[in-house]
Amino acid sequence: MAHEKYNELLQALHECMAACNHCYDACLQEEDMQMMANCIRLDRECADICGYLEQAIARNSAFVGQLAKVCAEICEACGQECQKHTHEHCQRCAQACLNCSEACKRVA
């Protein structure tokens, strides 16, 4: 398939999308939800762009490089926000985001 050279990135995007959506769902159940507003917001931004880039790679888009550049930036912002919070879902999400950001940069 056309997207075989992107296998590592596809894996990272998929894990990041899942982790961000899980973190979003979990943040909306936290007692200190007020403190999680930016995390909720960035989780959605990041899940959306990762899902978008997955689809773009899979359809052999001519714009993978440019989209990966934006995705790297959004993943990094989300990872940095998540790192600030001690909830396990945030820490896991931070790791998935920063890993995905690096994978995006290698392609961008």
Q: Does 61 bind a second copy (CB under 8 A)?
A: yes
Three-state SS at 85: coil
Q: Select from 5, 59, 84, 106 the one that contacts a second copy (CB under 8 A).
A: 59
Q: Does 105 bind a second copy (CB under 8 A)?
A: no
Asked if residue 84 lies in contact with residue 40, where contact means CB atoms within 8 angstroms, the answer is: no
- CA dihedral 39→108→64→104, nearest 10 degrees, is -40
> How many CA atoms lie less than 13 Å away from 55 in the CB half-sphere?
7
Residues at the site binding a second copy, with contacts judged by CB under 8 A: 1-3, 14, 17-18, 21-22, 24-25, 28-29, 31, 33-34, 37, 40-41, 44-45, 47-49, 51-52, 54-56, 58-63, 66-67, 69-70, 73-74, 77
